[in-house]
Amino acid sequence: MKTLFVSTASILPTNMHGQDSAMAAIFGQRSAGALYIGLLSSRSVQDDVIDQLDLMKSFHAKDREAVRGVLASETTVNEGADSLIQLKVKDVSAQRSAQIANAYLVAFRNLNDRLSLTEGAQTRKFFEKQLEQERELLYSAEDRLAKTQKSTGLVDSSSQTQAGIASIQAIRQQITGYEVQLAGLLQRETENAPEVVTMRSQIRQLEAKESQMESSTGAVPVGAAPSAAGMPDKNLDLLRATRDVREHETIVESMSRQYETARLAEAEKSSTFQVIDMALVPDRKAWPPRKTLLYLAIAISFLLGLMGAIAKRFWLRMAADPASQEQFARLRAGRTA
């Protein structure tokens, strides 16, 4: 019977539903306990543990699959009523059981860092691409404004269009914000997801409203630019060129702030769990349970002794009874015959 030792480590899930949580962004609103149990039992974490401790050599295994099977049989991950995740590792070596349990914690933190970096890089690249596109549009708008000023001789537009410019800018910023949210949703949802469909519908509505405000046909919404009818062509061209430049300047400023935030978030490694208890080398054996075996041996010995005493008493009574002796004699005579 092999002697086994058990080492226990405890972790506490944190910030699972925060906006900066890599796990939350990838897995949404799933149960934190079930998610952690699944990740701790994943092949990536097991391989990391194998590499840290060189378990293929320790377990004398020919391939990783055999070592993964041993780890799976020796490791138990449970969620307690207090929301703590307990990781228990049993092994014939007390020191190795603690090393494996602590290696699981290191491997899980490495996995968390990789997920955080992956999400941060995707977010940064998205804002970086959007910022480059907006800057190109801003440069083009500035060139058109300079050409318009030169061709018309005007350097300022009428104040009557300022409210409309602000409204269009606000709508375009809303569209940009929804596009950013949509990109985040598409990282974990499909095109047919209700949230994605709703978000695309909102973007189309805002684009239609923007198109309506930019065009001068039909009724003019409150706060939008006034109709071009009756306005001098030169002033209208200058207003439009100026408006385009200001719109793109505002968007570039907003995108620059968002890009900087994403870049800093990528550099910062956010952890979604805290280690409460590191695994310690156990002082006592977990198996076999000596007290239980001792009590069981005592009980069996008592029963055997009791049965022996009863059998002996029965035999003595049979031996002292003449009728019983006569029956035994007949039986022996019958067998001899």
Q: Are 203 and 284 in contact (CB under 8 A)?
A: no
237: nearest Cα among 136, 158, 135, 168: 158
Give the strand pairing for 273-277 and 75-79: unpaired
Cis check for the bond before 288: say yes or no (omega within 30 of 0): yes
Give residue 230's pLDDT.
36
H or E, element range at 214: helix 194-214
Q: Give me the amino acid identity at 26.
A: I
Distance CA 82, CA 19 (A): 24
Q: For the chain, what is the total number of helices (H) and then of strands (E)?
A: 11, 4
Helix (H, G, I), strand (E, B) or coil at 128: helix
Distance CA 242, CA 236 (A): 10
Give residue 33's pLDDT.
75
Give residue 173's pLDDT.
87
Give residue 45's pLDDT.
92
Q: Give me the amino acid identity at 296.
A: L
Give residue 104's pLDDT.
93
Positive or negative, the CA dihedral 14, 20, 23, 28 is positive
Q: Are 87 and 8 in contact (CB under 8 A)?
A: yes
Domains of the chain: 5-117+272-277 (3.30.1890.10), 122-267 (no CATH)
Distance CA 85, CA 275 (A): 10
Q: Which residues contact 126 (CB under 8 A, 6 or more apart)?
A: 180, 183, 262
Q: Which residues contact 184 (CB under 8 A, 6 or more apart)?
A: 25, 123
**DSSP string covering 143-170:** HHHHHHHHHH------GGGHHHHHHHHH
- Distance between start and end Cα atoms, the chain: 52
pLDDT in tens, 118-156: 666 777 788 888 888 888 988 998 898 888 777 765 555
203: nearest Cα among 165, 230, 171: 171
Mark the ranges of the chain whose per-residue pLDDT is less than 50.
16-22, 24, 26-29, 160-161, 217-231
210: nearest Cα among 252, 170, 158: 170
The residue with tokens 């919404």 is: 221
Q: Strands of the chain (E only): list them.
A: 5-13, 75-79, 85-91, 273-277
Distance CA 133, CA 24 (A): 30
